[in-house]
Structure 1
Amino acid sequence: MMKMLVHLILGLFVLKAAVAVPSRHARQVELDTYDSASYDIDLENLNLETQDIYDYSDILTIDEPQIEIGTLAPLVDSYLAPTASLEEGEELLQGPPFSASATSASATSAISEDSGDSGDSGDSGVSVDIEPDRGPTCLLCTCLGGSVYCDDLRLESVPPLPKETTHFYARYNRIKKINKSDFAQMNKLKKIDVTGNQISAIDEDALFGLPALEELVVRENNVAQLPALPASMVLIDASHNRLGRRGIQNEAFKDMHNLMYLYLTDNNIAHIPLPLPDSLRSLHLQNNNIQMMHEDTFCNMKDFNYIRNALEDIRLDANPINLSKTPQAYVCLPRVPVGNLV
């Protein structure tokens, strides 16, 4: 009897536990119902205002740095602009030396190669436009307006220039001479800069007939005789040449009433070239062989009221001259020359 009672109690306990555990099917139904309720959102009835979304941008802001945009510095004048040194020019240049006499032939060849032999001039993709009267030099050099730049091209002579040229630059080449024909009838030419060539001679009449010429720069050459120059000159720079005792003609600068800058540094010059025009502002004669100076070199000893206000920059340093021996020579000047005072 007792055994039967224990089995009955045990059976009730198992039945109760089985009823309490949900069925596997019921749990799946419950999960499916939960998933549907949680994720099936009615997007059409979703009542979200656009402004509510954009309001977050007012809360979450990022401080961005301010960027200032400036302008490039203007280009400096071509005369003061840095130029390649002789060593740099040798490294950058390749190919055989250029002779101006071969310019026309090489330019013609270049044009024929670009145009092609197919006869199709409209769709060739490459065209060479040469302005009238510009000449083949502008294929070799850079022509900008009236300026022609032929720097560092191993030129052995002055190339034929367009008649409208106003400024000519042929620095650091191998030019050995300036001929009379190089600048013939160049009535608009204002500046010639042939710094750093091998020029040893300039024809006497090569530059005198240029009515508009104002600046001549022949520094770092082997010039032994400065040619006659027009009265329109404003700047003459023949520094680092071989002018010596006889390289400057007598009264060479007398009629140049617009001359302001005269640079003759390192030429073994033995005297100051007189007379100097009243317009002169800067005179550089350092590192020469000037040994003496007269009291009327700069001043007028017959007129003690004469004052030369323009001449403010005189360089006589590195010359064998004692400036203290001629104190009366500077009474008309705004500044005492730079040089040996002992």
Structure 2
Amino acid sequence: MAVHRQTSKMVLYLVWTLLGFGLCAPPTDLDPEAFGYDDLNTLDLNYEYDEEVETLAPPPAVTPPPAVVPPEDYVEEVTLPPRPTKSPVPSTLDLHGPGLFGPDTGLGMPSCLLCVCISGSVYCDDSELTQIPPLPKETTHFYARFNKITEVKATDFINLNQLKRIDLSGNQIGKVNEAAFRSLLQLQDLMLADNNIQVLPELPASLKHIDVRNNQLRSSSMHAEAFKEMEELQFLYLSNNKLDYIPVPLPDSLRSLHLQNNNIQSISQDTFCNIHDKNYIRKALEDIRLDGNPVDINFYPQAYICLPRLPIGTPV
């Protein structure tokens, strides 16, 4: 009896097992079109899976420094640099006196700011000057044409040992100190044309070119033998003055002598030649202008026998 029951249980277990497999197996006659798909392979079975993604760590956050907040009663102090009393340029570049631009003029401006300084040349043309400004001691050429300068003082060119040219043409100079040019032992060109000069001061023997045209010079106001020692003088322009005679003796180096429009009335035989030496020839003097004077050059043929060319003059 017990064996029979045991056998019955085993049969029932097998039956239920077989029925369970049958119910769980998928049907084999399913129609894909009934579910709206043409192919079961296209079905999205919605498989979900986790994918491990490697990510970089974010940069550490930078914390800005805390802002400095001044107290409410804080007042900012601004200190301006002091005004310089001397030029910041090294003294080795200074031309003369304080600063790169030279000493102050009577107008309260540095000479080389009022004028133009290029190397050793100072240009002050047409600058409304009424006096000669202090010049850098290295000045070699000075131009102050077409100003309103009325006087040349004894101290205007003092200690300017390198000065070679002075041009004061076209001013209103009526007075020149006797010692104004005396110490300028390197001076070669002196241009004083178109002024009101009545007396010509002592001049250095180094001069090569003298131009005193259009002034008020008289023979009595010139030094005796003023040009005798000038062994390098080549150009002497004294036209449009009030000279009564030719200033003799003239150096042998002279090439050009302009005396037109004066008051010269006569010429002596030794004005140009040497009456004691008949073989003397003055080769350099080729340009003599005597036109505009009351002298008749035709009356003095013996005065020209040593010259390579005759003077230019207007017969009376």
TM-score range, shorter chain: 0.5 to 0.7
> By how many angstroms is 1:129 displaced?
5.8
| Paired amino acid for 1:233 | L
Equivalent residues in 2 for 1:94-243, closer than 5 Å: 118-119=80-81, 131-134=93-96, 135=102, 136-243=110-217
2-structure distance, mates of 1:242, 1:269: 9
Is 2:302 the counterpart of 1:340?
no
Q: Which amino acid aligns with 1:141?
A: C
**What amino acid does structure 1 have at the position aligned with 2:307?**
L
Distance 2:217 2:120 in 1: 31
Aligned partner of 2:184: which letter? L
Q: Give the Cα–Cα distance (whole angstroms) in 1 for the partners of residues 275 and 220 of structure 2.
A: 27
Q: 1:120 to 1:185 in 2, by over 3 A?
A: closer
Distance of 1:217 and 1:281 partners within structure 2: 17
Alpha-carbon contact 2:219-2:247 (below 8 Å) kept: no
Deviations 1:141-199 (A, max 9, x none): 00000000000011010000000000000000010000010000110000000001010
Match of 1:329 among 296, 300, 303: 303
- Asked if the contact 2:213/2:241 (under 8 Å) is kept, the reply is yes
* TM superposition shift of 1:128: 8.7
Deviation at 1:247, TM superposition (A): 2.5
Aligned counterpart, 2:221 = 247
Matching residue of 1:298: 272
- Superimposed CA distance per residue, residues 228-259 of structure 1 (whole angstroms, 9 cap, x where no aligned partner): 01110000000000012323211000100000
| Separation of aligned partners in 1, 2:250 and 2:148 | 33
Aligned to 1:258: 232
Residue 282 (1) aligns with residue 256 (2) = yes
For structure 2, which runs of at least 5 residues remain unmatched after alignment? 1-78, 97-101, 103-109
**Structure 1 alignment gaps of length 5 or more:** 1-116, 122-126
Distance 2:133 2:266 in 1: 43
* Regions of 4+ moved over 6 Å: none
Contact 2:166 2:189 (8 Å CA) reproduced: yes
Larger Rg: 2
- 1:23-69 superposed Cα distances (whole Å, 9 cap, x missing partner): xxxxxxxxxxxxxxxxxxxxxxxxxxxxxxxxxxxxxxxxxxxxxxx
Q: 1:198-232 deviations in whole A, cap 9, x for unaligned?
A: 10011101101111001100000000001101110
Alignment of 1:2-17 (within 5 A): none
State the shift of 1:302 in Å. 1.1
State the one-letter code of the partner of 1:251: E
Relative to structure 1, the CA distance from residue 232 to residue 120 in structure 2 (aligned partners, 3 Å threshold; closer, same or farther) is same
User: Equivalents in 1 of 2:82, 2:111: separation in Å?
Assistant: 27
CA displacement 1:1-26 (0-9 Å, x = unmatched): xxxxxxxxxxxxxxxxxxxxxxxxxx
Higher helix share: 1
Give 1:37's aligned residue.
none
2:25 is matched with: none
Structure 1 residue 133, shift from structure 2 partner: 2.7
Q: CA deviation at 1:119?
A: 3.1
Corresponding pairs, count: 221
TM-score normalised by L of structure 2: 0.67
